[in-house]
Amino acid sequence: MTGAEHFAAPPNWEWWILAYFFFGGLAGGSYAIGALIRLVGSPADQRAARTAFIVGFLALIPCPIFLVADLGTPLRFTNMLVDASEGGLSFKYWSPMSLGSWALLGFGLFSFVSFLGALGESAVSALDPLARLLRGTAGAVWSVIGAGLGLFVAGYTGVLLAVSNQAVWSDAGWVLGGLFLASALAGSAALQLLLARSRREVDAGTTARLEVADRNFVILEAILLVLFVASVAIAGTVGKLLGIWGLLWIVIVLGLAAPFVARSGAMRTWPPAAGALVALLGVLALRALVIFGAQS
């Protein structure tokens, strides 16, 4: 079986895009976890849901800045949404970058309102009416739609890379979106754990359940990572993920192992945040490997 041939030039998507992929993943993943806890968690878990909504929005804030900064002509960022040549809106459902721009805008709205609701529940009394509204059926519907958009934002970046003619990216077309999504969920769960452990008022049971969720997400990510490597190996382009960028594999594997090592008690002498931090570094390393390795 012959491998895929690639003669495409690299787009030179680098640090801004890496930062966007990382923070966008955490924003979408955190919101989805917040919505999940809101819908199926116990009352004792709701503090973690509020934190997830707040963190999700805070992680989202820099995303448009990263994207605009990466553009060659940043002042034309509106061209992603408005058709500057024909007039009207610029919407191409078959272009992941176009679809992602609209999804980011929509998710921003849902994340912002949920953020305000979470603030209303915890600290800002002026937002209490909104918080009460979001606790009801309307809030559940809002969270479900927001979670859908959040999951899309967390995963479409992988599809965006796949919808190209680049080595590695296009070779793993069917798996890259899922891999980024699973990694975003695992990273977001690690982030919530990090925050839960740093705040004593979070229920110990909630922390334990976040740990279970984190391990479940990591198992999902590991399965997709194996499929990803198999896809690029079949295409004959796995070599691009080795070399100097291949060192990132160490961080990725450590990040995947962290939740299980922490559970075994082997990290007992480490600071409580260490496992979650290593997991987050793994999320970052995975994106760096895929972005930079393929373009090397």
Partner 1 sequence: MAIEARPVGFFTDTSICIGCKACEVACKEWNQLEGDPIQFRDDYDNTGRLDAQNWRHVQFVEKVPDNKGFIPTPTPIAGGQAWLMMSDVCKHCQQASCLEVCPTNAIVRTEFDTVLIQQSVCNGCRDCISACPYGVIGFNEKTGTAHKCTMCYDRLQNGMQPACAKACPTESIKFGYLDELHAAADRRMAALQQGGYKQARLYGRDASVYGGLNAFFLLMDTPETYDLPNAENAKLPSRNNVPGYLGGAVTAVAGLVAGVLAFRSSRMSDMEKRP
Footprint of partner 1 on residues 9-38 (CB under 8 A)? 9-13, 32-33, 36-37
With b meaning 16 or more CB within 10 Å and e meaning fewer, what string describes 223-255? Answer: ebbeebeebbeebebbebbeeebeebbebbebb
Residue number, 116 or 157, with CB nearest to partner 1: 157
Residue number, 184 or 284, with CB nearest to partner 1: 184
Per rule CB under 8 A, count of chain residues that contact partner 1: 77
Neighbour count for residue 273 (Cβ, 10 Å): 15
Is 205 a residue that touches partner 1 (CB under 8 A)?
yes
Contacts of partner 1 in 111-150 (CB under 8 A): none
Binding partner 1 (rule: CB under 8 A), the pick from 105, 123, 141, 212 is 212
In whole angstroms, give the CA distance from residue 153 to residue 177. 10
CB 62, min distance to partner 1, A: 18
Is 207 a residue that touches partner 1 (CB under 8 A)?
no
Distance separating the N- and C-terminal Cα atoms of the chain:
24
Contacts of partner 1 in 60-79 (CB under 8 A): 70-74, 76-77, 79
- Binding range to partner 1, per CB under 8 A, among 103-111, 209-217, 240-248, 272-280: 209-217
Is 156 a residue that touches partner 1 (CB under 8 A)?
yes
Contacts of partner 1 in 229-288 (CB under 8 A): none
Binding partner 1 (rule: CB under 8 A), the pick from 65, 133, 135, 164 is 164
Q: CB–CB of 221/179 below 8 Å?
A: yes
Is 56 a residue that touches partner 1 (CB under 8 A)?
no
Q: Which H or E run includes 54?
A: helix 46-60
Name beta bridge partners: 89.
82
Residue number, 60 or 213, with CB nearest to partner 1: 213
Residue number, 83 or 128, with CB nearest to partner 1: 83
In whole angstroms, give the CA distance from residue 214 to residue 105. 28
Is 85 a residue that touches partner 1 (CB under 8 A)?
yes
Neighbour count for residue 169 (Cβ, 10 Å): 27
Binding partner 1 (rule: CB under 8 A), the pick from 118, 130, 162, 252 is 162
In whole angstroms, give the CA distance from residue 295 to residue 10. 5
In whole angstroms, give the CA distance from residue 93 to residue 49. 32
